[in-house]
Structure 1
Amino acid sequence: MAEIQRLAATEFTGTTTSAYAPIILERSQRKEFRAYGAILDDNMIGFAYGAPCRVEDRWYQLVEPPLEAKGNEHWLEQAFTLSELHVHPAHQGRGIGSTLIKEICRNTNFHHCLLGVAEANTRARCVYESLGYSLLCDPIRTRVGSTPFMVMGIRLPM
């Protein structure tokens, strides 16, 4: 878990883990937490992780009103949330992210897989759409001046 946090903080996202570490740790304790990594020459070049979507999660509370406004609140029922997906920039465009998503969604008891993606990240949105994900609501801002994100979802199994 420490390796995932370090990679998320430095090599992939350029952010710090101080705010995210407790969330990652809490979710990793959930019964159906899933995490996968892509390894090349003993180096992690990508990873994805997620957990069941729960009413008490801040993310659930952020996305539920916009989903409800579009009549899509049912997507939260029996949903798995893909919390993070990162592929090292030097290895993007090779299908690693798609493979990680397919693997994390394989053989689950969930009805849907949801994720959030920055509205401006058209490259990632195209990857998700190519796998069958759909936009489920209007862009969401967590606070004034924040980067808007989109909620996308897919019915499982893929």
Structure 2
Amino acid sequence: MIQLRRVGPDQFTAALETVLAIYTVAMRPPSDQLAGRMAIMRNHATYPHFVCMLAESSEQENQIVGFAYGFHGVPGQWWHDVVRHALQDRAGPRTSEEWFGDALEIAEIHVHPDHQGKGVGRRMIHAICEGRPERTAVLSTHDAPTAARHLYRDIGFVDLMTEFVFPGGYENYVIAGTKLPLP
């Protein structure tokens, strides 16, 4: 059985090696990116109103098998600034403000492949969004017909921008958002 546990920044950073291992098997990034990814995750834990859910398997002595986290997006955060300005350029300042003026930015949602397809990701998204004061939740995902993208659409996320390439990157992403609270 998979149980969710809400943790704070200190507990999240204490579990970073395990979290990074899950990220690695779920996303298969180049190994030279892992140190930077760990630094980014550690830094995210310092952002305002950080929220994290760990998915733990009770059948494996509470082993972490998934995680999701986010925080309140504000100017000065790299992802927030890059995406908000790009949306403003594409759709105008009103749309950018509507989605990013008061947003929960969901930074990471990953489930170990052995536990995917069992509703764990869906439960974590609902749990981190529950009770949030922000008016929207936003995230980015690969611009491809993936299980993750299907999940986000099923939950109510809509595409705000497609074929978005982050500065210095080469892959296409979708920036998606939904109104809070989730249905």
Match of 2:73 among 43, 53, 65: 53
Offset, 1:143: 4.7
Shift of the alpha carbon at 1:107?
0.7
Are residue 149 (structure 1) and residue 173 (structure 2) matched? yes
Cα pair 2:19 2:66 within 8 Å, conserved = no
| Distance in 1 between residues matched to 2:74 and 2:101, nearest whole Å | 9
> Are 1:4 and 2:19 counterparts?
yes
How does the TM-score come out when normalised to structure 2? 0.78
Gaps of 5+ in 2: 1-12
The one of 122, 127, 134 equivalent to 2:158 is 134
Amino acid at match of 2:74: R
Structure 1 runs, 4 residues or longer, greater than 3 Å off: none
| Worse-superposed segment, 52-61 or 108-117 | 52-61
Q: Does 1:20 align with 2:37?
A: yes
CA distance in 2, matches of 1:121, 1:59: 23
The answer on whether the counterparts of 1:66 and 1:138 sit within 8 Å (CA) in structure 2 is no
Q: Distance in 1 between matches of 2:164 and 2:104?
A: 19
124, 129, 136: which one pairs with 1:112? Answer: 136
**Percent identity, aligned pairs only?**
25
Q: TM-score, normalised by structure 1?
A: 0.90
Q: Report the Cα distance in structure 2 between the residues aligned to 1:92 and 1:56, rounded to whole angstroms.
A: 34
Q: Which 5+ residue runs of structure 1 have no aligned equivalent?
A: none
Compared with structure 1, are the counterparts of its residues 139 and 84 closer, same or farther at alpha carbon in structure 2 (3 Å cutoff)? same
Pairwise CA RMSD: 1.7
Aligned length: 157
Confirm whether residue 63 of structure 1 aligns to residue 83 of structure 2: yes
Change (3 A) 1:84 1:145: closer
**Mapped partners of 1:83, 1:38: distance in 2:** 16
SS in 1 for 2:69: strand
Match of 2:96 among 55, 73, 80: 73
State the alpha-carbon separation in 2 of the partners of residues 54 and 114 from structure 1: 13
Q: Partners of 2:169 and 2:133 in 1: how far apart?
A: 37
